[in-house]
Amino acid sequence: MCFLEERMKISALFSILFLCLVLVSCGAEDEDGGGSAAGAPCVTIVDCPDGYACINSTCQQKDPKTDSESKSDNGNSGNSSGLPSTGDENGDSDEVQGCPNACNGHGECDFETKTCNCNQNHGGEDCSGCIEGYHLESEDMDEDGDPTVRSCVSNITCDPNPCNKGTCTQLGDTVKCTCSNHAAGTWCETCDENYLQSNQNGECKPDCSILTCEAPKKCGLDSLINEASCNECDEFYSGSDCKSCDINHFCSGHATACLVENGSPKCTCETAYAGADCKDCASGYMPKNGACVKSCSAEQCFQSFSCEGIVSGSLGMPITYTVPGHCNPSTCECDQGWKTAVSGTVEGETVFCTDLAFGIPLDSRANVLCTVCDVDNPPSNYALTGCPTNCYSNFCNGTDTANGQGACYTEKGTHKVYCKCTSGYTMTGGSQYYDENPTGQCE
């Protein structure tokens, strides 16, 4: 009995060892692509082990002959068409795993169904055609703005005209535009080189590289309308029409105005200056310390002007007329307390010498300078009385007009005219001021 039990135990042990050997052998076959891989579900060949192909969604062992022939076919691993292979790494051809013509680059291949999912607007079994209403761009005409890819684009006709005022010619399912007036592009939508497309009317107009402007105007770009025009001025010119010019640059800074005439600047010089650019001194003026000053002459600046009669000037006094000025030597400089009469832009005044009895002119001097007594700062000989002046009407002198019974002066500070009677005479009628006693006289 014991012997029997021992034999049964040994028999069971051998059975277990045999079963282990079988399991190990099966595992090795699976690693080498054994029978357990056959019939396994798959989507692509990647899901199957070496030596198997994904056929009808299951892993099936390859035919060694077919596999050998495919590997020896010109070294193309089963791809005799010359198109990029979409099969597995062991050389499955497009007919087995890929799509026709690799979808021509216009779609993606569904390797399970071996059909092409075409890009937008493309169609056909291998995506080489276009869907209805679209056509394939020709090699020499880019219609969609991408010259690197031939795309399916919408059919187009000449009615309405897509050529932006250009001439349209029908070519099958598309058109050809012939541009004019410096327009360019497939649809005449841009401009030739050196031209700008106006934002106002879309026309192509010259840019500043070819637009010619008449000086002193120059070309500038109006960014609002995208047009070039002669709307700017050259340096040293200004104004809406560039007709004003810079006085300091063109007229040496000695002009009252500078305007463009016949394309050139013209200066209106100050009184003391002359010449096209106001660099010269005008007649009667001479250069001094970098400026033009009035010339000095004996006719304008002299120490005495005597005659036997009445000298009448700004003072109108019947005495020998003394002009308190001297040459320095280029211009007349007035002595202290004296100024020059100015009328507009003319300096000086005319002084006459008239016969005392008959009033006949005997002599005269023109443009005499330094003839005006400064009422605010009179010269020393009039420091006490103030500057002499004409008497009004019959005020001050009385009946003895030949010898004079008094003289009029301008009071310093108040500028009032008053009468100072000659020794031996007194003012009658009250105040000696004219505005208070206009009829007073020295009697």
Q: Are 216 and 275 within one domain?
A: no
If asked whether residues 210 and 261 sit together in one domain, one would say no
Which among 170, 201, 174, 204 is positioned nearest to 188, based on CA atoms?
204
Which of 325, 348, 373 is a domain's end point? 373
Burial class of 35 by CB neighbour count within 10 A (0 to 12, 13 to 18, 19+)? exposed
Q: How confident is the model at residue 70 (pLDDT cuts 50, 70, 90)?
A: very low
Residues 325 and 365 grouped into a single domain: yes
Q: pTM of the full predicted structure? A: 0.40
Domain of 276, CATH number, reads 2.10.25
Residue entry with tokens 């099958």: 172
Give the other-Cβ count within 10 Å of 160's Cβ: 8
Question: How much is the pLDDT for 3?
Answer: 42
Q: What pLDDT is stored for residue 65 in this prediction?
A: 40
Compute the average pLDDT of residues 347-370.
Answer: 70
Average of per-residue pLDDT across 16-33? 47
pLDDT for 84 beyond 50: no
pLDDT exceeds 60 at position 412: yes
401 lies in the same domain as 434: yes
Structural contact between residues 153 and 137, judged by C-beta atoms closer than 8 angstroms: yes
pLDDT, greater one: 68 or 13:
13
Kindly list the distances between the CA atom of residue 165 and the CA atoms of 106, 149, 172, 256, in Å, as whole numbers in the listed order: 34, 28, 21, 54
Find the angle CA(283)-CA(246)-CA(284) to the nearest 5 degrees.
Answer: 5
Same domain? For 360 and 419 the reply is no
| Structural domain count of the chain | 4
Q: What pLDDT digit, counting tens, does each position of 1-10 carry? A: 444 445 455 5
Residue 235 structure tokens: 């340096």
Per the model's pLDDT, the better-predicted residue between 15 and 377 turns out to be: 377
pLDDT of residue 367: 74
Beta-strand runs (E) in 341-429: 342-343, 346-347, 349-354, 361-368, 372-373, 387-388, 406-410, 417-421, 427-428
Domain boundary at 343, 373, 403, which?
Answer: 373
Could you tell me what percentage of the chain is helix, strand and coil, using 3-state DSSP and rounding each to the nearest 5?
15, 30, 55
**What is the structure's pLDDT at 296?**
66
Q: What is the predicted pLDDT for the residue at 55?
A: 60
| Least confident among 42-56, 65-79, 144-158, 338-352 | 65-79
Domain-embedded: residue 141: no
Distance, CA of 404 to CA of 290 (rounded, Å): 50
pLDDT digits (tens, 9 = 90+) for 414-441: 999 999 998 888 888 789 999 998 888 8
55: in domain: no
Residues 331-355: tens digit of each pLDDT = 677 888 888 888 887 777 777 766 6
Among the residue ranges 98-107, 163-172, 290-299, the one predicted with the least confidence is: 290-299
pLDDT in tens, 150-172: 889 999 999 999 998 899 999 99
Query: 58 pLDDT band (50/70/90 cuts)?
Result: low
Round to the nearest angstrom and report the end-to-end CA distance of the chain.
195
Asked if residue 399 and residue 368 are part of one domain, the reply reads no
Instruction: Report the alpha-carbon distance of residue 160 to residue 171 in Å, rounded.
Output: 15
- Cβ–Cβ contacts within 10 Å for residue 25, how many? 11
257 shares its domain with 300: no
Mean of the per-residue pLDDT values of the chain: 76
State the pLDDT at residue 12. 54
Query: Looking at the domain assignment, is residue 99 inside a domain?
Result: no
Provide the pLDDT for residue 57. Answer: 54
- Structural domain includes residue 262: yes
User: Do 274 and 336 share a domain, yes or no?
Assistant: no
- Tell me, yes or no, whether 64 lies in a domain: no
Q: Cβ of 16: how many Cβ atoms within 10 Å?
A: 8
Domain final residue, candidates 285, 315, 347:
285
Range of the domain at 312: 296-373
Q: Is residue 309 part of a domain?
A: yes
Beta bridge partners of 180: none
113 is a domain residue: no
Per the model's pLDDT, the better-predicted residue between 183 and 344 turns out to be 183
Token pair of 12 as six digits:
């069971």
pLDDT at 381 over 80: yes
Confidence at residue 28, expressed as pLDDT on a 0 to 100 scale: 42
**Cβ partners under 8 Å of residue 143, min gap 6:** 137, 151, 153, 156, 174, 186
> What is the percent of the chain where pLDDT is above 90?
35
Tell me the C-alpha distance between 277 and 163, whole Å: 57
Please indicate, yes or no, if residue 187 is contained in any of the structural domains.
Answer: no
